[in-house]
Every structure is written in structure tokens, then in C-alpha cells.
Amino acid sequence: MGTSWSARIVTARPDTETGILAVLDRIVARMSHWEPGSDLCRFNRAAPGAWQQLDPALSRVLGAGLSVAAASNGAFDPAMGALVDLWGFGPPGPRSGLPSAAEIAATRGGSIEHDPALLRARRTGPAALDFSGIAKGYAVDAIARYLRETGHGDFLVETGGELLGEGVKPDGQPWWVDLEPVAGLAPIRIALHGLAVATSGAGQRNFVADGRRYSHTLDPRTGGPIANGVAQVTVIHAECMFADAWATALTVLGADAPAVAEREGLAMHMAVRDGGAIREVISPALAEMLAR
């Protein structure tokens, strides 16, 4: 997935690292859009309209992504692979110049139809899966599930900066983590005791064209990079997969994010550029968590 992973485990078994690597290898084989032989890439190459059988894990992540897409009114989309490639953020690599309106429109036709009961899905038109906004979170959940199943009750796991903590450290303290810092804002520390955290930053990757800087975070509803002033969004959730997807969706939603986070009961921290300053937005669910 083009990133690193780490795990801090109390009394780990000698074969634990090998087991974690096997978990991650299976996820890459199923969900990577960078590996041509992955299940996801084979799905994207299938003829539109034809039902494709899905691995249960792939079906699970697709269903979660589509649920966040529906709840966010399209601010998150697990099927925007063609759009990501068009803007130069996918496997084809960077492009020269900006895509035209016609090129953008050509990537946005079609959709993904999912039948979770029969573990199958099909794409219509140019819709193509891209799990960049959800697979890292799922990987954290998958590692945590493996550790629980092998008798590990105290650990902190991470992939690409997304984390999940379970149990306590050897000194009896919870797994304390600081939210990714934003210049001008006071740091926030939280205890990951059966919780996951994911952060989406509009400025983490970008490019400059014609003197203007473009974010790698794309708005599926417009087909272009966001320009809503959001610097960073962090979401705390019981499942890292949903924390990951919602962090991206809320980043795209911008000014509408606080209302959506409150409606969905999401613990959200948002940093917004307001002129030359950074403004902080904390959802009611996060405020309640910090007050405990």
C-alpha cells in the first residue's frame, strides 16, 4: 500500500511478526490498486455489467465504503479510481497539465452495484474501485483481529499513521497518542482503549500547475481537488476502517462536516484555515470523550 506499518505488543509470540505480514500480504493481494494481479485490479478490468464474485474481505470493505458514500452524500466514493488516475495520483503516475472538463466527465459515468449477500458486485461504465481512503484503516482492523485471535490482548497497531489501541501498556497506562499536530493549535492527547484514530490532511500530497497548488484530496461530487480551507480532519471510531473513510469524507465536506459528524455521532477534530489563522472544530462526540 506504499506505506509502513508497526505494532507494539505486550508479550508478543515469536511468530507474531510473520503472522502480521501474512495478514498484510492477503490484503494487498485483494485490495491493492497498484498490484495488477490483485482482486481489485481484476475487478476493474472486467467488462462493465458483468457480475464478479468477491472475496469476503473485499466485499466487506466495499460495503463499508458504499455506506459512508451514502451517508456523506457522495463526499466519499470507493469507486473513483478512474478520477484518481486522471489527476495523476494513481498507478499511472503524475500527469503534465490539468485534465479537461470533458476528461473529468468521462471518468464519472457509471457506478458500482454491490450484492453483499451473494458476495458479488459489478461496475457500470468507467467506475473503478480505489480503496486508498479505506484500506489502510481496514488493515489496522485486520491486524488487531489477528492479534486478538492469537491471544494478544494489549497492543497498539498502525499502518500509514492510522492507529488502533487495545488493552494497556505494561505499566497499566492506556495507549496514549497525540493527534497529528497542526500549527497554531494546542495538542490533543487521547487514550486508545479499544478505539482507532485516522487522520486525513488536504495538504499531505499536492502538486502545482499554472501557479496554483492542487490538493490530492478529490471531491467525487465535482471531479476536482478540494479547495474548502480544510487543513486536516481526525476521526476516532471503534473501527479504523470507518475512521479512515470518514476522515476523508469530512475533509471533502468542509463547512458541512460538523453537522454530518454530529448527525452520525462521530468523534471529529477539524482544523480549518480561516484567513491567516487556523480554526479548530470539535464535534460533540469528541468533546464528550475529552471531558471524561
CA distances from 200 to 154, 217, 288 (A): 26, 9, 22
pTM score, two decimals? 0.95
Rounded to a whole number of angstroms, the CA Rg of the chain reads 19
Residue 141 CB neighbour total at 10 angstroms: 23
Q: Rounded CA gap, 139 and 265, in Å?
A: 23
Q: Rounded CA gap, 164 and 145, in Å?
A: 11
Query: Exposed, middle or buried by CB within 10 Å (0-12, 13-18, 19+), for 97?
Result: exposed
Cell of 240: 479504523
Cell of 114: 454491490
- Name the nearest CA neighbour of 191 among 174, 179, 178: 174
Residue 109 CB neighbour total at 10 angstroms: 12
pLDDT given for residue 202 in this prediction:
63
- Tens digits of residue pLDDT in 3-28: 899 999 999 999 999 999 999 999 99
From first to last of its 292 residues, the chain has per-residue pLDDT tens of 788 999 999 999 999 999 999 999 999 999 999 999 999 999 999 999 999 999 999 999 999 999 999 999 999 999 999 999 999 988 888 888 899 999 999 998 788 999 999 999 999 888 999 999 999 999 999 999 999 999 999 999 999 999 999 999 999 999 999 988 888 888 899 999 999 999 998 655 667 777 677 788 999 999 999 999 999 999 999 999 999 999 999 999 999 999 999 999 999 999 999 888 899 999 999 999 998 7
- Tens digits of residue pLDDT in 47-92: 999 999 999 999 999 999 999 999 999 999 999 999 999 999 888 8
Q: Rounded CA gap, 139 and 160, in Å?
A: 10
Going from the N-terminus, what domains does the chain have, and what CATH number goes with each? 9-123 (3.10.520.10), 153-291 (3.10.520.10)
